[in-house]
Amino acid sequence: MSSIPAPSLVNALLRREILDLHAYHVPDSAGYVKLDAMENPYSIPPELRDEIARAVADAPINRYPDPGAATLKEKIRSVTGLPQGMDVLLGNGSDELIQLLALALNKPGATLLSVEPSFVMYKMIAAFTGMRYVGVQLAGDFSLDLPATLAAIEREQPALVFLAYPNNPTGNLFSADAVKQIIEAAPGLVVVDEAYYAFARDSFIPHLARYPNLLVMRTFSKLGMAGLRLGFLAGSAAWLDQLEKLRLPYNVGVLPQLVAEKLLDHHDVLLRQAEQLKLERTRLYRQLEAVAGVQVYPSEANFLLFRVANATAAFDGLKRRGVLIKNLNGGHPMLRDCLRVTVGTEDEDAKFMAALQDTITQPA
Ligand code: PMP
């Protein structure tokens, strides 16, 4: 008998929502100017390389990591300036935390609500966990459609709401006042996802004590540590102690803990890199704005969304010229002919701009 399962067996056993899903696609980026994934383009600061190499050489990788990651959590509490009485829960990237939250709040029939277009993982994880998903369309300028969102909250009574602040892939920061109204109206938990905080510097962490149904989520991925996979939830022990029960015991490994600790000792260096990227963002915005036929949207994150005629042809043209960005065309209807470029180094951005000019003038 063959040990390969027949497709009919797999289809019969798996949940419908999983069969209907498309895996999150990560393109092969080897050899490209890589501006597709909102990474920090700068590598480890040279003055830190030796210190990190020494620490890694001595790391006890034969042992399980500290399950409570006490040292790392203390450093995160300190660099975040967490208010009194608030704590953090660590995830293997914030993606893992989205999943943990969905698992925790998924009572039968429970709804996860977000806005659209936004980070696709909210919807995907609703499907992974069998939650009902409701997406409320943003206004034409990508701001929150507050009346529609409040009406959806009233109608759907979501157990869990995710708002990306700033939003991905649109790059804008929603009105803080509108977000507060949503938190106040929501019967369930609201998670403000501050993945791009380093580039916007506006946060709901100071408001945690005011809203019992609020948690704030952040990641270190955009601040130079995408390869470490480290995100955190900030909030009160009343929430975190319960969520902690669902966290897999060793979800943040020895090496990520150690390297993140060293990097957070030099948090100022990372913040300076983020400031540099903000300057680059402004430069890139102006350059894109000057290209005939390109409409670029304001951004508070480390990427820019822009619209161009025949976006897929432009995306392919960029790729042929060695530059990888993100094609959003064909996804959400509001993103028709939209592409997203991560802000890179001055040199990478120059290569992107040259390739874009070239592909617009010579599309074939
Ligand atoms: N939230 C938002 C809004 C994001 O854009 C991303 C990454 N694209 C994440 C969360 C996930 O980040 P990570 O899993 O790398 O921490």
Ligand 1 centre from 332 Cα, in Å? 18
Q: Find out whether the beta carbon of 164 lies less than 6 Å from any atom of ligand 1.
A: yes
My answer on whether 37 and 79 are in the same domain is no
My answer on whether 243 and 283 are in the same domain is no
Ligand 1 centre from 360 Cα, in Å? 31
Flag whether 124 is in a domain.
Answer: yes
Pocket test for ligand 1, best of 115, 168, 342 (most atoms within 8 A of CB): 168
Angle made by CA atoms 46, 39, 285, in degrees to the nearest 5? 105
The values of phi and psi at residue 56, to 5°, are -65, -40
Flag whether 161 is in a domain.
Answer: yes
Q: Find out whether the beta carbon of 95 lies less than 6 Å from any atom of ligand 1.
A: yes
Q: With contact defined as beta carbons under 8 Å apart, do 312 and 330 qualify?
A: yes
Flag whether 51 is in a domain.
Answer: no
Flag whether 123 is in a domain.
Answer: yes
The CATH code of the domain that includes 342 is 3.90.1150.10
My answer on whether 274 and 252 are in the same domain is no
Looking at residue 185, what is its pLDDT? 98
Q: With contact defined as beta carbons under 8 Å apart, do 27 and 36 qualify?
A: yes
Which residue's CA is the closest to the ligand 1 atom numbered 6?
Answer: 195
My answer on whether 26 and 69 are in the same domain is no
Flag whether 24 is in a domain.
Answer: yes
Domains of the chain: total = 2
Average pLDDT estimate for 147-176: 98
pLDDT tens digit sequence for 284-309: 999 999 999 999 999 999 999 999 99
Give me the chain's average pLDDT, please. 95
Cα–Cα nearest to 224, from 198, 190, 203, 255:
198
Looking at residue 23, what is its pLDDT? 85
Percent of the chain at pLDDT exceeding 70: 99
ipTM: 0.99
Residue finishing a domain among 265, 289, 315: 265
My answer on whether 82 and 231 are in the same domain is yes
My answer on whether 228 and 306 are in the same domain is no
CA distance 203 to 194: 7
Residue finishing a domain among 243, 265, 287: 265
13 by Cβ neighbours in 10 Å (0-12 / 13-18 / 19+) ranks as exposed
Looking at residue 364, what is its pLDDT? 66
My answer on whether 208 and 90 are in the same domain is yes
Amino acid symbol at 94: S
Which residue's CA is the closest to the ligand 1 atom numbered 2?
Answer: 195
My answer on whether 157 and 243 are in the same domain is yes
Residue 52 pLDDT > 90, yes or no?
yes
Structure tokens at 44: 């480890």
Ligand 1 centre from 292 Cα, in Å? 32
Q: Quote the domain boundaries for residue 220.
A: 61-265
Closest ligand 1 atom to Cα of 226: 15
Flag whether 228 is in a domain.
Answer: yes
Pocket test for ligand 1, best of 101, 115, 119 (most atoms within 8 A of CB): 119
pLDDT tens digit sequence for 92-104: 999 999 999 999 9
From 20-29, 157-166, 207-216, 301-310, the region with the lowest mean pLDDT = 20-29
The CATH code of the domain that includes 195 is 3.40.640.10
Looking at residue 269, what is its pLDDT? 92
Residue finishing a domain among 213, 242, 265: 265
Output the pTM of the full model.
0.96
Average pLDDT estimate for 300-325: 97
Looking at residue 3, what is its pLDDT? 79
Residue 1 pLDDT > 60, yes or no?
no
Pocket test for ligand 1, best of 115, 142, 221 (most atoms within 8 A of CB): 221
For 105, the 3-state DSSP assignment is: helix
Ligand 1 centre from 88 Cα, in Å? 17
209 by Cβ neighbours in 10 Å (0-12 / 13-18 / 19+) ranks as middle
pLDDT category at 6 given cuts 50, 70, 90 is confident
Looking at residue 58, what is its pLDDT? 93
Residue 2 pLDDT > 80, yes or no?
no
Q: Find out whether the beta carbon of 193 lies less than 6 Å from any atom of ligand 1.
A: yes
My answer on whether 289 and 257 are in the same domain is no
